[in-house]
Amino acid sequence: MTAEAARSPGARAWARFRRNRLGFYSLVLFVVLYAFATFSVIRYANKVYPTVVIDGETYTVRLVEADNKSDKTEAVTAAQSLISSGASVIIGSYGSGVSIAAGDIFNDNKVPAIGASCTNPQVTAGNDYYFRVCFLDPFQGTVMANYAIQEGAKKAAVITQLGDDYSSGLGNFFARAFRSLGGSVVSEQQFQTNATDFKSILTNIKAANPDVIFAPSSIATAPLIIKQARELGITAKIMAGDTWENSSIIENAGVSAEGVVLSTFFDDADPATAEAGTFISGFKTFLVENKQPDIIPAVSALGYDAYLTALRAIEIANSTKGSAIRDALEKVDIEGVTGRIIFDENGDADKDMAFIKVVENGQFKFLKTVSVI
């Protein structure tokens, strides 16, 4: 947390002195590429809560941004640059693969990181310094499998991306849950990173004739899978995880996206807490001011929660020292935008509810909530 202290010039000078001596007074971010939406929510959160109180003195939070370009190698570089910039807390990332790749760096340097929407269990497992504010893939996979069974699906096909921890992890958890609920997985297909042609795997899936297709993947591949499936005359319901809640998918897939079902963390039509109410109206205004569509994806809500969690932890720790913040994170108990945030012993937020949304008339529409015990 940096040090442009609020009040007198004297206090400012003192703060500058402290920063120079101790070197780690900044709250730092580590966010993926997917543009404005990802950095912007943190900038917004910073605007709403620009300061933090340590030892009775008010400090301004300084944001340092590093872009991991959704690439594992870049993620490591970004993480290192954040560490060397003297960050006290890291927020991010959104993707599981990049978070896992950078996790060890935060652990080795004893700087706590708070993940936003990295849902793979391995992000926090065995890493004392990684926390996250979202639910996990085993949970999400089970939720989607439950939903598919409830909708009467008996046969499912799964499409996953090779070497992507999020995609293959979530795909496996879905398949496992779907089988244990009495369904059968008739086709499991994989594709290479950066693939743009899914016709071959979709042709195989068409031949297996499933009721639902579960295809957790990045927002770059989603519209391609959706459109090519419809083009090949596949009518099965297409489902995916939280990543797909991004308006660019609807933009790119057009009418083919109608009926696509996904699970997510948050619904802006149904604010869960008081904090959520102010966040929704405030952030929408902020988006409009910055000429962005005023749709709040769940990842933004999680990013905001991660920021709130970070501030709270610093206040509890009463310090900007990484290990102290880490210990304080275990004690955090706040009402965030996506619900109550308490961390379990792994550093995962204790969440038991997911929102199911469906694409209808070019919009994500809230369908129902599913809880799994």
Partner 1 sequence: MSMTTILQHCLTGISLGGAYALIAIGYTLVYGILRLINFAHGDIFMMAGYFMIFSLASFPWPVAILITLVVTPVMGIAIERVAYKPLREAPRMSIMISAIGVSYLLQNLSTYLFTAIPRGYPEIPFLKRIFRVGELSASFVTILTPVLTIILVMVLMTLINRTKTGMAMRAVSKDFETAKLMGININLIISVTFAIGSLLAAVGSILYFTDRMSVTPFSGTLPGLKCFVAAVFGGIGNIPGAVVGGFFIGIVETLLVALGYSTFSDAFTFLLLIIMLLVRPTGLFGERSVEKV
Q: Does 203 bind partner 1 (CB under 8 A)?
A: yes
Instruction: Please report how close the Cβ of residue 242 comes to partner 1 at its closest, in angstroms.
Output: 18
Instruction: Please report how close the Cβ of residue 249 comes to partner 1 at its closest, in angstroms.
Output: 10
Phi, psi dihedral angles at 130 (to 5 degrees): -105, 125
Instruction: Please report how close the Cβ of residue 87 comes to partner 1 at its closest, in angstroms.
Output: 24
Binding-site member from 30, 135, 191, 304 for partner 1 (CB under 8 A): 191
Residue 315: C-alpha distances to residues 12, 59, 331 (Å)? 20, 11, 11
Binding-site member from 4, 14, 16, 33 for partner 1 (CB under 8 A): 33
Q: Does 200 bind partner 1 (CB under 8 A)?
A: yes
Specify the pairing of strand 57-60 against strand 51-54.
antiparallel
Instruction: Please report how close the Cβ of residue 218 comes to partner 1 at its closest, in angstroms.
Output: 9
Residue the block writes with tokens 């760096």: 105
> What is the contact mask toward partner 1 in residues 204 to 223, using x (rule: CB under 8 A)?
x-xx-----------xx--x
Binding-site member from 192, 235, 278, 363 for partner 1 (CB under 8 A): 192
DSSP state of 211: S
Rounded CA separation 159/217 (Å): 8
- For partner 1, the closer of residues 74 and 242 by Cβ is 74
Residue the block writes with tokens 């910055």: 290
Instruction: Please report how close the Cβ of residue 248 comes to partner 1 at its closest, in angstroms.
Output: 7
Q: Does 201 bind partner 1 (CB under 8 A)?
A: yes
Structure tokens at 111: 């700087």
Per-residue exposure over 34-62, b if at least 16 CB sit within 10 Å of its own CB, e if not? beebbbbbbbbbbeeeeebebeeeebbbb
Give the length of the chain: 373
Q: Are 61 and 2 in contact (CB under 8 A)?
A: yes
Q: Does 231 bind partner 1 (CB under 8 A)?
A: yes
Q: Does 162 bind partner 1 (CB under 8 A)?
A: yes
E strands, 2-112, are 26-29, 51-54, 57-60, 63-64, 87-91
- For partner 1, the closer of residues 47 and 199 by Cβ is 199
Q: Does 293 bind partner 1 (CB under 8 A)?
A: no
E strands, 39-129, are 51-54, 57-60, 63-64, 87-91, 113-115
Q: Does 84 bind partner 1 (CB under 8 A)?
A: no
Q: Does 16 bind partner 1 (CB under 8 A)?
A: no
> What is the contact mask toward partner 1 in residues 35 to 74, using x (rule: CB under 8 A)?
x---------------------------------x-----
Q: How far is CA 113 from the centre of its chain?
A: 13
Stretch that binds partner 1, among 9-17, 178-186, 250-258, 317-325 (CB under 8 A): 250-258
- For partner 1, the closer of residues 35 and 274 by Cβ is 35
DSSP three-state, residue 85:
coil
Stretch that binds partner 1, among 29-37, 53-61, 272-280, 349-357 (CB under 8 A): 29-37
Stretch that binds partner 1, among 33-41, 79-87, 150-158, 282-290 (CB under 8 A): 33-41
Structure tokens at 230: 């419809």
* Total binding residues toward partner 1, as defined by CB under 8 A: 33
Rounded CA separation 274/228 (Å): 42
Angle CA(335)–CA(337)–CA(338) in degrees, nearest 5?
95
Per CB under 8 A, residues contacting partner 1 are 33-35, 69, 162, 189-192, 194-197, 199-201, 203-204, 206-207, 219-220, 223-224, 227-228, 231-233, 248, 251-252, 254
